[in-house]
Amino acid sequence: MNVEITVDARGARCPVPINELARAVETTSGSIIELLADDPNARVDVPVWCRLKHHELLGVTEAEGTWRFRLRAG
């Protein structure tokens, strides 16, 4: 699975990571999007947002304080 769009929201706090992710999703459908965020709230917010907006969350990893979310835009 190749990432087609990367959204780097490191340094931003809630709700900015979700807002930037939503903006990226608006421009695509079916693409793989990667969100980088260091806001601890993103760990909960992104999976919930994906479920509510019908996007497929493909994976979540954390390294050195940065969360990496991969999703398929619905």
| Residues 63, 61: Cα–Cα separation, whole Å | 7
Q: Which of 7, 14, 22, 36 is an active site residue?
A: 14
Q: Are 46 and 14 a contacting pair, CB within 8 Å?
A: no
Clarify whether 50 is annotated catalytic: no
Q: Are 42 and 16 a contacting pair, CB within 8 Å?
A: no
The secondary structure element, H or E, covering residue 74 is: none
**13, two tokens:** 């706090």
Which sequence positions are flagged as catalytic? Answer: 14
